[in-house]
Amino acid sequence: MTTAPLAPGVRVRTRPVADPEGLLDLLPDEQPLCWVRDGEGLVGWGEVARFTTAGPGRFAEADAWWRAFASGLEVHDEVGAEGTGPVAFTSFTFADASPGSVVIVPRVVVGRSGGRAWITEFTGDGPAAIRPVRRVRPSGPLRWADGRLPVEGYRAAVADAVRRMRAGTLDKAALAHDLLAVADAPLDPRFLLSGLARRYPSCWSFAVDWLVGATPELLLGRSGSTVSSRVLAGTAWSEEAAPADRAELARRLLSSDKDRREHALAVESLAAALRPLCTALDVPHEPGVLALRNVSHLVSDVHGKLDRDDPASLLRLAAAAHPTAAVGGTPRAAAVALIAELEGMDRGRYAGPVGWMDAEGDGELGIALRCAQLDGPVARLFAGCGVVADSDPDTEVREAASKLRPIRDALAGTS
């Protein structure tokens, strides 16, 4: 684990500002931080402190570090809204053994919500963190290459998982594969981020430590004594996704026993994780349908009331909930072990929690889906599917390809 030392006399000030409208337009190209949906949210840059961790205790360690760090700050908050005061962006690995879970405290944060806008700045710790906002660089020509698990390997992994499920060893596993995009020059994360935000405004567009994506799935949102989650599992897709197709996709999803069963497993796993931490939990009896640009998902919005005497922080909730059956499987331990065995790759932070938190333990964490890890001129893209006993390997390959399409199109700048 690493941290940056905190100089004495550091103050944090939040003050109102004129509405910047385009939050993403404010970002420099040097390690931008972002959590934006429908034009509202938070963007940040600069780095006051960083904490990295790994292992099964990574959520608790990050929570303890952030609480200790925030408690030592002198805070002047002139706005008093969610997302004001000291804020950290965070991103966790999917697997316990993977290194790279990180908490980053930005030097500057600009927020926008409900017609209000604000800026939060660290002061008294050196020169102001002024970053020139250079013109966004398109990716240019891209070369595509197999990742650590090519498509044929993914098809074989799905087939193996299906055989085991039919033998009764587990109910579901969410398997994924990766794809590489290689450019001629270092990729600009803002180009990918803005492309995703424009195409998928109802998703949460994020950027944390070079992991960039737009997720439709909110793992957890905490606001005071309430917790919420948007569970997605069960997918139908169309190559064109015209409006007329969306009604057909919804009908297919709602009438599909396979997708309904997959969705029920995901909702049940989340509810089981949250119930011990809640005094009340509202779980829908029937799912709805979320229509995106070229896929539709079964969706359930879950809401709970936290224990008032001991309200769990956002990261404590994440420790209980991750991974849900939507991105892991069920039973959890057997599914996670199967994923590691059949994929044979380190997912890194793909399918892990990503988002932001404040000093009160509030914030939002999505699941890092529809994303790419950027490393200079190379982007590593990920996509996966929930596999159950009646899954068809060829169908799952096509579904994963459809889920890769948003990030491929945004990276390439195609419509």
Task: Please say if the pLDDT value at position 217 is more than 60.
Answer: yes
Residue numbers annotated as active site: 172, 217
Prediction pTM value: 0.94
Condensed to tens digits (0 to 9), the pLDDT of residues 118-168 reads 999 998 644 444 566 789 999 999 999 999 999 999 999 999 999 999 999
Condensed to tens digits (0 to 9), the pLDDT of residues 222-272 reads 999 999 999 999 888 875 545 557 788 888 899 999 999 999 999 999 999
CA distance 15 to 182: 41
Torsion angle of alpha carbons 41, 45, 51, 55, nearest 10°? 50
Domains of the chain, residue spans: 11-412
CA distance 55 to 258: 34
Is 336 within 8 Å of 384 (Cβ atoms)? no
CA distance 345 to 162: 19
Condensed to tens digits (0 to 9), the pLDDT of residues 268-320 reads 999 999 999 999 999 999 999 998 887 899 999 999 999 988 899 999 999 99
Domain 11-412 CATH (choose: 3.30.2350.10, 1.10.8.60, 3.60.120.10, 3.30.365.10): 3.60.120.10
Condensed to tens digits (0 to 9), the pLDDT of residues 378-394 reads 999 999 999 999 999 99
Give the helix ranges, DSSP H, for 348-415: 393-412
Per-residue buried b or exposed e for 305-342, using 16+ beta carbons within 10 Å of the residue's own CB: ebeeeebbbbbbbbbbbbbbbbbbbbebebbbebbbeb
The pLDDT value recorded for residue 82 is: 93
